[in-house]
């Protein structure tokens, strides 16, 4: 093997991969570049999985939701109109998948379990109620903004885009969620 061939082979393996901005990755993904889509998803893998896990508190279900989100994003990336809003768009897909899973779960729940849940009061919350348990107590419309704001540092505007509602509604839901969480945690502390 000649010195020239060795240098070419070494250069081939050490050649740096072109780096793209997030917006370029989205646009290239929309034109069918699977490598760019994979890189884009790799950027948000932990974010998406953690968010799914915060909702379902189950590793297997969180992985299922994450995978379903990636599949739907891959199938519909061409429909994304603004490449700058990829994170918002993929988060909305994730939340829709979570809601679909919750509806499916609730649909097949036994009536006996529903009766037990219907009797739920704050007085029978376990003694060691932590923040995650307090969040679980919240209704869906309150839980999503709290998670998005405090676990992912999203702004009111970003949250309103993700959940597709007015910014003032988001502010109101955040305020009510904080009040409910405060009451739950305060009650637990006094118990």
Q: What is the CATH number of the domain that holds 152?
A: 1.10.10.10
Residue 31 lies in a domain: yes
pLDDT at 183: 84
Comparison of pLDDT for 6 and 32, the residue scoring more: 32
Q: Kindly report the number of other CB atoms within 10 A of residue 86's CB atom.
A: 20
Q: Is 28 within the bounds of a domain?
A: yes
Contact yes or no for 148/158 (Cβ under 8 A): yes
Q: Which residues form the domain of 172? A: 120-191
Q: What does the alpha-carbon distance between residue 182 and residue 56 come to, in Å, rounded to a whole number?
A: 22
| CB-count exposure of residue 145 (10 Å: 0-12, 13-18, 19+) | buried
Share of the chain above pLDDT 70, in %: 75
Boundary residue ending a domain (69, 103, 137): 103
Residue 66 lies in a domain: yes
Q: Is 26 part of any domain? A: yes
User: Token digits for 153?
Assistant: 């540092």
Same domain for 47 and 99? yes
Q: Looking at the predicted structure, is the pLDDT value of residue 6 above 70? A: no
pLDDT given at position 45: 94
**Residue 87: closest CA among 46, 31, 132:** 46
CB-CB contact of 62 with 49 (8 Å): yes
Of 51, 74, 103, which marks where a domain is finished? 103
Query: Do both 125 and 99 map to the same domain?
Result: no
Total structural domains in the chain? 2
**Domain for residue 14, yes or no?**
no
Higher pLDDT, residue 187 or 124? 187
Prediction pTM value: 0.62
């Amino acid at each position: 093997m000649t010195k020239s061939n060795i240098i070419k082979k070494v250069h081939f393996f050490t050649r740096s991969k072109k780096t793209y901005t997030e917006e370029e990755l989205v646009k290239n993904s929309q034109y069918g570049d699977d490598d760019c889509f994979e890189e884009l998803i790799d950027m948000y893998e932990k974010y998406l999985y953690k968010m799914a896990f915060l909702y379902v508190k189950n590793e297997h279900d969180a992985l299922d939701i994450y995978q379903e989100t990636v599949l739907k994003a891959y199938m519909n990336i061409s429909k994304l109109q603004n490449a700058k809003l990829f994170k918002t768009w993929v988060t909305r897909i994730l939340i829709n998948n979570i809601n679909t899973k919750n509806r499916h779960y609730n649909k097949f729940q036994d009536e006996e379990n529903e009766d037990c849940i219907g009797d739920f009061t704050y007085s029978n919350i376990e003694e060691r109620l932590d923040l995650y348990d307090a969040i679980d107590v919240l209704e869906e419309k309150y839980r999503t903004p709290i998670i998005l704001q405090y676990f992912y540092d999203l702004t009111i505007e970003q949250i309103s885009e993700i959940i597709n509602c007015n910014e003032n509604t988001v502010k109101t839901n955040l305020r009510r969620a904080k009040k409910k969480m405060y009451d739950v945690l305060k009650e637990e502390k006094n118990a």
